[in-house]
Amino acid sequence: MSDEIRVEPHLGGILDTKAPYFSKQPVPAEIVAVLHAHATARKLELTVHPSRAVSAGEVHEILATDETGKGLSSVVDRVGYVACVAIKKSGMILVKDSVLLNGRIVGTVIGFDETHLPNHMNVVIYTPSLQTGRDIGLNLGDEVRFEMGEYPTEILP
């Protein structure tokens, strides 16, 4: 084993000034549990990573926040529990991906919380108002898609 220190490339120093993602395929999923709860002191710790690989068959949780100015390495307190989703096709979920539920954009990915790994990852999205899956009117089997949004051209803070 090397004594070399591992450096997160997205923090700078390894990559040039451009974020690495130019394009990607949408990641399809389906709702396997509709959630209906709120928290005002959740203390989700968003990772430094602007991307996460997901594999077909994995189940992950979507949590929504209406807190503005949150992103990589932020702590998020206000959340609405939206849904647990089963990934249908392996791919990459990126910060700034649009989240579509039944073809309608409901939010934007702002980060990832790994509290429950290896069981599941929390995908945290920004929504203009704090809503749960029940508030949105979701049903079991509904279609979810993570589509590439306006990915930043500079390394994220």
Domain boundaries, the chain: 26-147
Q: What is the pLDDT of residue 5?
A: 53
Provide the phi-psi class of 115: left if phi over 0, else alpha when psi is between -120 and 50, else beta. alpha
Of 152, 82, 85, the residue nearest 124 (C-alpha) = 82
Mean pLDDT of the chain: 87
pLDDT tens column, 75-133: 999 999 999 999 999 999 999 999 999 999 999 999 999 999 899 999 999 999 999 99
Q: How many CA atoms lie within 13 A of 48 on its CB side?
A: 7
| 4 vs 69, more confident | 69
Q: What is the pLDDT of residue 155?
A: 43
Least confident interval from 13-17, 20-24, 55-59, 100-104: 13-17
Taking the alpha carbons at both ends of the chain, their separation in whole angstroms is 30
The residue written with tokens 């949004």 in the block is 149
> What DSSP state is assigned to residue 135?
H
The average pLDDT across 9-26 equals: 68
Q: What is the pLDDT of residue 42?
A: 95
Of 20, 35, 46, 66, the residue nearest 123 (C-alpha) = 46
Q: Are 98 and 149 in contact (CB under 8 A)?
A: yes
The alpha carbon torsion through 125, 143, 149, 75 (nearest 10 deg) reads 10
